[in-house]
Structure 1
Amino acid sequence: MRGKMSRMTATPSPLVAGVATGTCCTPPPRPAAEPDAARELARVFKALSDPTRVQLLSIVAAAGDDGACVCDLTEPVGLSQPTVSHHLKVLVDAGLLSREQRGRWAYFSLVPDALEHVAHRLQDALR
């Protein structure tokens, strides 16, 4: 066993040797995404990481300019109104939906060009 140990420590692996000499890696071809832009994108993707939120976004987008009342969104996703309202708030905070109070009910609409804006920010971050 002692002989095996000495051979292992006497001959470093090529990977370790490359790291030690700095020859294994090349610098990235472009700078990384700006931290603020990365945080903002992560917040949007976190909002979209829940299947219920994706469903709600789809339903609201299909409602068009008139928006969708929170009272009409509970049945399609099978959740209570407070839970749906929570999910909608996350989408509003992520900048994907807007909220308008009409009397007793809240109506939600897709923020114009929100999805295109997210796509452009993602492309910019990856360039």
Structure 2
Amino acid sequence: MDMVKVFKALGHEFRFEVVMALLEGRIHSCCGEVRSYEQGCCVTDLTDKFDMSQSTISHHLGILLDAGIVNMEKRGLWSVYLISPETIQELHKQIGDWLSPTCQLPNCSS
């Protein structure tokens, strides 16, 4: 996983908001192709939630896809974007590894 690419993708306010909304289950799918237990959506779901064009949202999803933060599956006529649990777990692990054992800051308790 390219951590720079992941952080660059998450560094944009809209993309960060989309990822957090998916992780927290705040985007509910209207296309009928996303199961209730999946952390995913269709582009239409995002155009309904955010005041952006379909092409702009698709562009941002492409960046998240390229960074490995989301995966895309074709389901019938729909493209479904799903959170990549592997990437989220690796990101969590990496941040923990960076901060926990070697913190040299004055206020660090480790």
Please report the TM-score for the alignment, with normalisation by the length of structure 1. 0.60
CA contact (8 A) 1:52 1:77 kept: no
Q: How far has the Cα of 1:125 moved from its partner? A: 4.5
Rate the CA distance shift 1:87–1:123 in 2: closer, same or farther, 3 A.
same
| Deviations 1:51-72 (CA, angstroms, capped at 9, x unpaired) | 1101211233315416211111
CA distance in 1, matches of 2:16, 2:22: 10
Superposition pairs of residues 4-15 of structure 1, within 5 angstroms: none
Larger helix proportion, structure 1 or 2? 1
Q: Secondary structure, in 3 states, of the residue corresponding to 1:65? A: coil
Cα root mean square deviation, aligned? 2.1
Larger Rg: 1
| Deviations 1:17-66 (CA, angstroms, capped at 9, x unpaired) | xxxxxxxxxxxxxxxxxxxx7xx211111000111101211233315416
Q: Percent identity?
A: 34
Please report the TM-score for the alignment, with normalisation by the length of structure 2. 0.68
Aligned residues: 89
Match of 1:84 in 2: 57
- Can you give the 5+ residue segments of structure 2 that lack an aligned partner in the other structure? 29-36, 103-110
Match of 1:102 in 2: 75
- Can you give the 5+ residue segments of structure 1 that lack an aligned partner in the other structure? 1-36
